[in-house]
Amino acid sequence: MISFKNQQIQGLALDIDETLSFTAGYWVEELSKNFGNPQKLSAREIFLKYRLIQKYPHWQTKEAEKWMENARSSNEIQKNLPLIANANNAVNKLNKIIPIACYLTVRPKNVIQGTKRWLEKHKFPKAEIIARPSSLPYEEGTRWKAKMLLKLYPKVLGIVDDNSSLIKYLPKTYKGFIFLYDIPRQKFNSKKIIACPTWEDVLNKAKTIFTKNNQFKTQSEN
């Protein structure tokens, strides 16, 4: 049940992993310790090369996959993940431009508690955490997230997310904004897909789109 649908807030959704938390940093450190890292790649290098840690060939083993599955479902681990520098300050600024309507994450529901603690610890704005039903496999996460975005529009006017494959799962008719965080500047077919290399870019673009005069014009424009 998503309770906030009944409330009168309208705003953006935020992804968490690799958008707010440097989850990959923690994972790479631990996976290297436990299973080795023959190419000696840093978290950033693995992230840039493979985007997803689980795609690093050396860790495509049963044991490493088991570690990852456990890490995904551990509340303790979520509580202690590193913060992407300044993401919390940026999000608090964003919240003044357009409210944070919810956190929308492919993390499973059973880690909402640890996730909530982490968000509180870093003083992120309070908002509901919408997480993947635990019965749904991790691999279905992005498809699920796209479906949620469709369903939540126009309460949720878009998302800030580092996962560009989200676009593949959204129909062309989707009216929300996708702020793709931490990807190089580039143009997409739709003006509503916006590449934002840094949080500063997210803030600047959001300011332009959601300023007072044309606030939420997205709904009447189509």
Q: How far apart are the first and last CA of the chain?
A: 29
User: Which tokens sit at 20?
Assistant: 């707010």
User: Which tokens sit at 82?
Assistant: 């590193």
Q: How far is the CB of 182 from Mg ion (least distance, A)?
A: 9
128 binds Mg ion (CB under 5 A): no
Q: How far is the CB of 21 from Mg ion (least distance, A)?
A: 9
Under a CB-based contact definition with an 8 Å cutoff, are residues 151 and 125 in contact? Answer: no
Q: How far is the CB of 111 from Mg ion (least distance, A)?
A: 14
User: Which tokens sit at 139?
Assistant: 């691999």
Choose, by CB under 5 A, the member of 11, 14, 18, 72 that binds Mg ion: 18
Residue numbers 154-183 binding Mg ion by CB under 5 A: 162
For residue 154, say if its preceding peptide bond is cis, omega within 30 degrees of 0: yes
Give the residue with the Cβ less far from Mg ion, 128 or 162.
162
User: Which tokens sit at 119?
Assistant: 């968000």
Give the residue with the Cβ less far from Mg ion, 88 or 218.
88
Give the residue with the Cβ less far from Mg ion, 18 or 128.
18
Angstrom distances, CA of residue 76 to CA of 73, 109, 118, 123, 132: 9, 14, 10, 18, 18
Choose, by CB under 5 A, the member of 15, 22, 28, 176 that binds Mg ion: 15
Give the residue with the Cβ less far from Mg ion, 142 or 218.
142
Footprint on this chain of Mg ion (rule: CB under 5 A) = 15, 17-18, 162
